[in-house]
């Protein structure tokens, strides 16, 4: 019977050598692992939010460049040509889509 207890004690010592000096250390290790996982998930979520911000900023820069190109193009125009260009732009972006919607055409 003492041989069975001795092998149990040796097994417990072997496991303690793998895990740590006590069961409390094992529980502390589990808490640390849980905190590390939570921290990693938070960092991943923050990285995703930053990627979204980068994409949003890229879109804003593209729109600003388009606006700048239009303003530079219009600055080189005569006042009459500028007015015609504005009317053409308004027509293309406002009137044509409404007419297409009313007529049921998609193109």
Question: Domain containing 99: what range?
Answer: 77-107
Number of domains the chain contains: 2
Same domain membership, residue 85 and residue 69: no
Instruction: Give the pLDDT score at 20.
Output: 61
- Residues 50 and 99 grouped into a single domain: no
Tens digit of pLDDT per residue, the chain (107 long)? 456 678 888 887 787 777 766 666 778 888 999 999 999 999 999 999 999 999 999 999 999 999 999 889 888 889 999 899 889 888 888 888 888 888 886 55
State the Cα–Cα distance between residues 2 and 93, nearest whole angstrom.
Answer: 92
């Amino acid at each position: 019977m003492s041989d069975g207890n001795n092998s149990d004690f040796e097994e417990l010592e072997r496991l303690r050598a793998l895990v740590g000096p006590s069961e409390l250390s094992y529980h502390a290790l589990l808490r640390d692992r849980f905190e590390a996982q939570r921290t990693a998930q938070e960092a991943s979520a923050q990285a995703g939010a930053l990627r979204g911000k980068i994409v949003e900023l890229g879109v804003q820069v593209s729109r600003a460049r388009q606006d700048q190109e239009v303003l530079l193009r219009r600055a080189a125009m005569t006042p009459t040509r500028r007015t015609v260009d504005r009317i053409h732009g308004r027509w293309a972006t406002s009137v044509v889509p409404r007419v297409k919607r009313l007529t049921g055409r998609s193109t």
